[in-house]
Structure 1
């Protein structure tokens, strides 16, 4: 008897499958609670219970999906850390060139820095995200990354 093994990103026949995206932590469900702050579809797979500990989640972006510009405010400490686990993506700080993200990349975002992150136009991307502990932490969602700004990244 032959045993069929499903591998990450592929179904049992070896075909890439949207339901298998999400890397090692899995796709999770549609990120409906934050959909208004994203262009395209994102998925959220909580890895911890925020009522018991620091909230850590796997976030998956379909190709072309990105979040709005945003800021993780804090009086002391704070910020955000991203651990890229699957696919290819982008990270950009306000006024700086975008940085391509690949599996294994770690992005340490200081508090009070306006930024965005998301998938490239032709790849899914997953990252584990958590906000660094701090005092008076709050996220501020800003304007979307325009289609023109995003399309220009493929020329880099």
Structure 2
């Protein structure tokens, strides 16, 4: 076992493989019988790979930013932190940042025993167009409510919790839906596992359900909260003894 505590050096990505600016940090190289390579790849806004294919395929794990991935003959798909992309062996594809955001992902690849290299094609956008959609719609949450409700309006609130603040055990008198804008928080429905929410994540606090934690972490958290409200109702939060 080897533990490396110091940051690994990064290097510019090969100019013949990337359009724009990108940097590669080698995290693991094949040793002994292992043929697995792990790199962290950071794309500047607008940077993307050429069309290419790997003899044994590849797995991408998005850690920061927003980007696109596209296989030959298919549409470009938006990718964001937490997404995993499995590229099949020999599948032509490209991946990279959007025009306005950076992208960082891990690239995990098994290298062939015979040394067959990755095959590079034309830049994305040449030959077969890189069909990045002008409008992308991604379903983030499809939550069924336990019972029908009469809704006559929806309140939307932007809520900020200071760093390391803990609102405590609480319940809402109606369902709450939310999406994290910035920062992060530990979220837990009582009796269920904890989750760390980060920008782009969505959540649902069920009506009259005890919420054990919505604890802002060190940078605080800001989120949009959506309250579906019935006639004559006012959204309320009731603090409980833990």
More helix by share: 1
Task: State TM-score, norm by structure 2.
Answer: 0.47
Please state if 1:65 is matched with 2:47. yes
Distance 1:139 1:42 in 2: 18
Distance 1:49 1:140 in 2: 20
| Count of residues paired in the alignment | 125
Q: Please give the residue correspondences for 1:11-90 in structure 2 after superposition, counting only pairs within 5 Å.
A: 28-31=10-13, 34-51=14-31, 53=34, 54-73=36-55, 78-90=56-68
Please state if 1:141 is matched with 2:120. yes
Q: Are the equivalent residues in 2 in contact too, given 1:27–1:60 (CA < 8 A)?
A: no
Q: Are the equivalent residues in 2 in contact too, given 1:67–1:117 (CA < 8 A)?
A: yes
Q: Are the equivalent residues in 1 in contact too, given 2:75–2:132 (CA < 8 A)?
A: no
Pick 1 or 2: higher relative contact order, CA cutoff 8 A, min separation 6. Answer: 1
Residue number in structure 2 paired with 1:116: 94
Residue number in structure 2 paired with 1:95: 73
Task: State TM-score, norm by structure 1.
Answer: 0.71
* Cα distance, 1:51 vs structure 2: 4.7
> Where does the alignment leave 5 or more consecutive residues of structure 1 unmatched?
1-24
* Cα distance, 1:102 vs structure 2: 0.2
Residue number in structure 2 paired with 1:13: none
Please state if 1:126 is matched with 2:104. yes
> Where does the alignment leave 5 or more consecutive residues of structure 2 unmatched?
1-6, 136-242
* Cα distance, 1:50 vs structure 2: 3.5
More strand by share: 2
* Cα distance, 1:146 vs structure 2: 2.3
Distance 1:68 1:26 in 2: 25
Distance 1:80 1:56 in 2: 10
Q: What is the RMSD of the two structures over their aligned residues, measured on CA atoms?
A: 2.4
Distance 1:29 1:133 in 2: 20
